[in-house]
Chains A and B, each alone.
Chain A
């Protein structure tokens, strides 16, 4: 008996040791501040940082970097609204104002001529060369990495934060037997998170009710709206419409490649036009079931409406918004429960930011190591702890983040991972990550989508305007033609 106990203990100890060592092995490979070699160039580094919680999260790591390398780091904190313009001037002008810049995924093709690729930097500064870079990039989501690359697959920076649109809905309402029965009777199919945009339209209509009407069998003391939309003249309106368009299987423009995969140009096919018109029509139709004020709204409005119990579904809200709604449910009432699901069609906008080193950097060596540190495992862990969504799969796939109790802090990680995997095969075709004029096109898309939403343009006029202006902007600013 004693022997059996001893043997069992020995086996258990062995298993424990093996497990401990295997779990430590990949951790040892992960890059930390301690792995930064001696940097010869001691010139101060200036890094662009987005205002808000980002600065607070990064500060301790920047301090560690300064301590380890002896290089002073200056931070230039700016609002996202001015980031493209400010960085664009400095990059194109080659002023050397920044050693590390923030690049939104859709700006990568445009800024590629002004940035060092990771390969160029690795060759110069990595003792192991590209091998070390590839190892660290291997921890990132493949789709996000493609978004952060040029259309030729060249990686220019270390992704550190992403935003994936998903559907947030009132799970308590969706699970309510009375509501389920009414919906089934009215529409002939089960009430469940919409998987197609026409289903969402049914649900938006179904849940829009006047004050005094009933929800879950109880009278409402305020008007209720089916959906919350970000239809103001802010970039988010085009994220929402892109999600509808992609979810319907369409594209803003088709990228034409040759047999070797080399991009030849863009083409707006008749199918693209038809689906864009359908996407516009769907959005306009959905707006009828959104709260007043939606035409001047972005995500903060939708979050507020959802938190106040005024809407039932936020069809395409950024995953990171949920951690910000820290008091969700407080004002909604007893039994309120939030649910998360992929957007209808599962192809929402999933942009990300990456840190890159401009060719005009005064200290590219120091900048490379700082950018790499800020894209490392430790920083991603800090991101998720601060309520941001990281881009590294090894972080978001940790078992602890599958726990629904943590969603309020981390967002719906499993839903996000499902979305990333689902849309990976399509990312390479999105205009956003293939056009070198996208910084300019993005502004126009915002204007266009908002104008269609407010009825200044009909969906058909919106499509015609898109074809005309996209062709003008791409021809003027891009380096690929628009093919007939």
Chain B
């Protein structure tokens, strides 16, 4: 009781009177207590996020080969990477993965979510089955698809040749291999967009749709004019998260091509340079370039998300 009274009094007293307070009283005051609560989080962030980030930045200006102390070389690593045609090829591949996967996941996810929103027999089973790819571990997923897609012994080719078509070398043909990797990624993450959109659709106010129905609005018109605008913040959330995750795409490569047949993407390249070749300077530079790109794209999308949230209210 007395503590509450003290606190209340402290809030109203001029600053010079705080000098008479004990450190504990100052820290537990309303003004400072919130910061006290943030200390554990800030400490964790400082140790596990800011320090590695700044160390990574520092390393990117060094020739760091692990076997000898880092040597400052200025912007050499950046110059080397930005003049490397291989980097641009890989960046282009990663960018196409982002565009294709996000495009397909949002379009298809929205369509399936609208379909799943309807009442039908076995709806819960279908919804449950739709969720399955998301719970498969990434490594298991890549190995599973590798065996499914095997040209002569895989089940997919068995079905293809069963209908009289020629077998397809999905993971060893340039171009097709990367399309297959993107398909695996879409298969894995499509449920995410489906369920975000389904939850959003189910949470929409019914009265608006009932009013539209009474006014004789057709279903396509209702979808375009009501559902889609109200879904905009959710589309932005899926877009934001998936773009950031797809820039880090590498899981499907581990059990399948390991970057072969023209499937190497940015994250796999970073891993290979930093942790297979142990060229930590170049690896750190690639990581920083990736981070900057992610931050820029993330900031643009986040701004759009905030805008979308504003308009949907």
Closest residue on chain A to residue B66 by CB atoms: A92
Stretch of B33-41, B121-129, B252-260 with 4 or more beta carbons under 8 angstroms from chain A: B252-260
Residues A296 and B256 in contact in the complex (CB < 8 Å), given A443-B272, A476-B279: yes
Closest residue on chain A to residue B63 by CB atoms: A476
- Say whether B171 faces chain A, with CB atoms less than 8 Å apart: yes
- Say whether B30 faces chain A, with CB atoms less than 8 Å apart: no
Residues A233 and B152 in contact in the complex (CB < 8 Å), given A292-B172, A293-B172, A454-B262: no
Contacts of A292 in B (CB 8 A): 151-152, 167, 169, 172
The distance in angstroms between the C-alpha atoms of A297 and B171, with both chains bound, is: 10
Residues A293 and B261 in contact in the complex (CB < 8 Å), given A88-B278, A440-B278, A443-B272: no
Q: How far is the CB of A131 from chain B (nearest CB, A)?
A: 34
The distance in angstroms between the C-alpha atoms of A30 and B238, with both chains bound, is: 66
Assess whether B169 is in contact with A450, with CB atoms less than 8 Å apart.
no
Closest residue on chain A to residue B272 by CB atoms: A443
Q: List 20 A-B contacts (CB under 8 A).
A: A85-B276, A89-B66, A232-B260, A233-B259, A293-B150, A293-B152, A293-B169, A293-B171, A295-B260, A295-B261, A296-B257, A308-B153, A440-B276, A440-B278, A440-B279, A444-B277, A450-B260, A454-B260, A473-B277, A476-B279
Q: How large is the interface on B (under 10, 10 to 19, 20 to 34, 35 or more residues)?
A: 20 to 34
Q: How far is the CB of A435 from chain B (nearest CB, A)?
A: 14
Contacts of A454 in B (CB 8 A): 172, 174, 260-262
A-binding residues in B (CB < 8 A): 63, 65-67, 150-153, 167, 169, 171-174, 177, 256-262, 272, 275-279
Which residues of chain A from 276 to 312 have a CB within 8 Å of any chain B CB? 291-297, 304-305, 308, 310
Assess whether B65 is in contact with A476, with CB atoms less than 8 Å apart.
yes
The listed residue (A297, A304, A308, A440) touching B277 by CB distance below 8 A is: A440
- Say whether A456 faces chain B, with CB atoms less than 8 Å apart: yes
Assess whether B171 is in contact with A84, with CB atoms less than 8 Å apart.
no
11 extra interface residue pairs, beta carbon distance < 8 Å, beyond A85-B276, A89-B66: A92-B67, A233-B258, A234-B260, A293-B150, A293-B171, A295-B172, A308-B152, A440-B276, A440-B279, A454-B261, A476-B279
The distance in angstroms between the C-alpha atoms of A310 and B259, with both chains bound, is: 27
The distance in angstroms between the C-alpha atoms of A455 and B174, with both chains bound, is: 10
Contacts of B66 in A (CB 8 A): 88-89, 92
The listed residue (A92, A291, A456) touching B174 by CB distance below 8 A is: A456
Contacts of B174 in A (CB 8 A): 454-456
- Say whether A139 faces chain B, with CB atoms less than 8 Å apart: no
The listed residue (B261, B275, B279) touching A85 by CB distance below 8 A is: B275
Contacts of B65 in A (CB 8 A): 476-477
